[in-house]
Amino acid sequence: MHILITGGAGFIGSHTADALLNRGDRVRVLDSLEPPAHRGSPPEYMSSDIEFIKGDVRDRAVMSRALDGVDAVIHLAAYQDYLPDFSRFFHVNSVGTALLYELIVERRYPIHKIVIASSQAVYGEGPYNCPDHGRIWPDGRTLEQLEHGQWDILCPSCDAPLHPVPADESMVNPGNSYAISKHTQEHIGFTLGRRYQIPTTALRYSIVQGPRQSFSNAYSGACRIFCLRMHFGQPPLVYEDGGQLRDYVNINDVVPANLLTLDHPGTDGEVYNVGGGKAVSVSKFAQVVINKFCKTEELEIPGKYRFGDTRHIISDISKLKRLGWKPEYTIHDSVQSYMMWLREQPDLKNFSLEADRTMESMQVVRQALKA
């Protein structure tokens, strides 16, 4: 097969490209090499067997050239930082996806599969259980709650603490521009895909971890930020009280999910969670990072929070498991491989310092009054 990977110079795309090349597929990558993840030229890790086109997914001419002659598309290019430039998420993610389908229809490209990278972010806070009021999809926490360091979500009916439940694919509750834009990508893909017979699958990745996740973009990503800080002798800085639950997934589990859904006609028109299958607190994850670096530092927990962040989010991965996929790698594997990769990088700087300053100056990261 001849496969186009948009965003294929990035973290998930480059690992997916390697796996496709290994099994004998031809790979074309379209990527605009966005800073700060990239610095002008294709990354060293990108295989020379890849046909590389530098360009933007919103550019008709370049997208058309990228689509010409391929059989399938893995659409990963996206804007995904934590900054408040709301409109950019829709320009890149939603408009870019619409243009992909527009060109396929207009120029009759015989594409027989599109896999769209969506995100666990579409669930927002996700589902919770109240012992008395059952299943609830709560709104995010109010500013007042966060300012007072009331991190946990309470039942809107009785104020009892709620217990997070893994989110299956049936409901979404996106709570920020990134999440809404990811959900629009799914909508665009499924609606236009169905109408114009372009088989489409969407994958809602949980937090993906592993080497090549750009260390120069330290706005999000617990693994890279904690590892970067530890590398420069600073303990992990944990937001809230560190009790937030996540289901981190290793890149070596994400790549097989991409390939499985690319190949499997039974996945057409379907959306799947791709998660780690285990709820891990941010503090626990940070402790794993400290241990891997063989240090004894205490976590730094100053009562800061990321405005708009979810308290807990965990994905239910049963649907993809029914196709024979399951996560094989642990957070220990993810941290170990990221740490080793980081140590090999020649031009490493503590990018998290600048990212912290930017996020605080833009009020993305704030200090609770009482924590």
Ligand X SMILES: NC(=O)c1ccc[n+]([C@@H]2O[C@H](COP(=O)([O-])OP(=O)(O)OC[C@H]3O[C@@H](n4cnc5c(N)ncnc54)[C@H](O)[C@@H]3O)[C@@H](O)[C@H]2O)c1
Residue type, 41: S
Distance from C-alpha of 209 to C-alpha of 223, rounded to nearest angstrom = 7
Task: Determine if 12 is a binding residue for ligand X (CB under 6 A).
Answer: yes
Task: Determine if 4 is a binding residue for ligand X (CB under 6 A).
Answer: no
* Secondary structure (DSSP) of 336-349: HHHHHHHHT-TT--
Select the residue interacting with ligand X from 4, 5, 7, 124 (CB under 6 A): 7
User: Which residue, among 164, 166, 169, 174, has the nearest Cα to 128 in the 3D structure?
Assistant: 164
Backbone angles phi and psi of 117, in degrees to 5: -80, 110
CB nearer ligand X, residue 85 or residue 295:
85
Distance from C-alpha of 193 to C-alpha of 129, rounded to nearest angstrom = 35
**Contact indicator for 273, 313 with CB cutoff of 8 Å:** no
CB nearer ligand X, residue 9 or residue 288:
9
Neighbours of 147 (CB within 10 A): 16
Interface map 33-52 toward ligand X (x if CB under 6 A):
xx--xx--------------
Q: What is the DSSP letter of 300?
A: B
Distance from C-alpha of 335 to C-alpha of 348, rounded to nearest angstrom = 17
CB nearer ligand X, residue 99 or residue 301:
99
* Secondary structure (DSSP) of 50-69: SEEEE--TT-HHHHHHHHTT
CB of 87 to ligand X, least distance (A): 13
Select the residue interacting with ligand X from 3, 4, 9, 320 (CB under 6 A): 9
Select the residue interacting with ligand X from 3, 5, 56, 364 (CB under 6 A): 56
* Secondary structure (DSSP) of 101-138: HHHHHHTT----EEEEEEEGGGGTT--EEETTTEEE-P
Select the residue interacting with ligand X from 3, 4, 5, 13 (CB under 6 A): 13
CB nearer ligand X, residue 118 or residue 287:
118
CB of 78 to ligand X, least distance (A): 3
Interface map 117-156 toward ligand X (x if CB under 6 A):
x-x-------------------------------------
Task: Determine if 315 is a binding residue for ligand X (CB under 6 A).
Answer: no
Task: Determine if 207 is a binding residue for ligand X (CB under 6 A).
Answer: yes
Interface map 213-252 toward ligand X (x if CB under 6 A):
-x--------------------------------------
* Strand partners for 5: 29, 74
Select the residue interacting with ligand X from 46, 57, 114, 172 (CB under 6 A): 57
Select the residue interacting with ligand X from 5, 20, 27, 31 (CB under 6 A): 31
Neighbours of 169 (CB within 10 A): 19
Task: Determine if 290 is a binding residue for ligand X (CB under 6 A).
Answer: no
Distance from C-alpha of 123 to C-alpha of 174, rounded to nearest angstrom = 5
Task: Determine if 78 is a binding residue for ligand X (CB under 6 A).
Answer: yes
Binding positions for ligand X, 86-105, rule CB under 6 A: 92, 96
Q: Give the binding site for ligand X (CB under 6 A).
A: 6-7, 9-13, 31-34, 37-38, 56-58, 76-80, 92, 96, 117, 119, 205, 207-208, 214
